[in-house]
Structure formats: structure tokens, C-alpha cells
Amino acid sequence: MTWSFTEDRPIYLQMQEQIKLFIVSGVYPAGSKLPAVRDLAAEAGVNPNTLQKALAELEREGLVYTQRTSGRFVTEDVNMINSLKTELAQEQIMKFLKKMEEMGFEKSETLELIKKTAEEMK
């Protein structure tokens, strides 16, 4: 796993987003145990308290949960994970469409360009 952070937003928010991506992409599948906070923080190169804050927010959202003596786990609710995956994809699509609109493309032109590009990638 590669962690990357920018200076424009708090690190705990960026960690939260990246953990969500790791969950929806299957790096951390439904029901799997997350690495220990200290291990994950060391891997990401951040303070464990920063990671703790990100995980607390993910717990509040119901995406992860704590078993008192066993650690933290990803939710077993596959529907929740799939909904999050769709939501994240829609956010990216909206950003992309807005950017294309700013460049002067109509939605129909953008869709045609996507089709053409996808065919060329085959």
C-alpha cells in the first residue's frame, strides 16, 4: 500500500479517505482485521494519534468497528461497502464532468470521447 498526503487538508481526513479506498478496492475486505494502529501509523509515516482520529471517524460512520480485545475490523456489511464504492465513483465522475465542462465540452461530447478512448485502450 502506498500512502500519499498533500499539504492542503488535514492528514487525518486524507487517511480516512485512503482507508475508505483500501476498503472498497478490497485491500481490506469486508470483515477483515485492520493492522494495529501503531503498525499502520508507522507504515503511513504519521503519528498514531492522527491515525486514531481517522479510525474513530470511520467507526462513527459504521465502516469499521472495534472488538475490545481483538482490534479493529472492517464492517461485514457488503451493501454498505458497495454503496460507499458507488458514492466515491460518483464523486469522481462529477469532478471529471465539471472539469470537462470547464474545458468547453458538452456532456454528449464527453461521453463520445470516453467511448472512443475506452475502445482504444482495448
| pTM metric for this prediction | 0.85
pLDDT tens for each residue of 58-105: 999 999 999 988 999 999 999 999 999 999 999 999 999 999 999 999
Q: What is the dihedral of CA 104, 110, 113, 117, to 10 degrees?
A: 120
pLDDT higher than threshold 90 for residue 122: no
pLDDT tens for each residue of 29-64: 999 999 999 999 999 999 999 999 999 999 999 999
The residues pairing with 64 across neighbouring beta strands, listed in sequence order, are 74
Class of the 11-76 domain? mainly alpha
67 and 34 in contact (C-beta within 8 Å)? Answer: no
Per DSSP, which regions of the chain are E strands?
Answer: 64-67, 71-74
pLDDT higher than threshold 80 for residue 1: no
Write down the domain spans for the chain: 11-76, 79-121
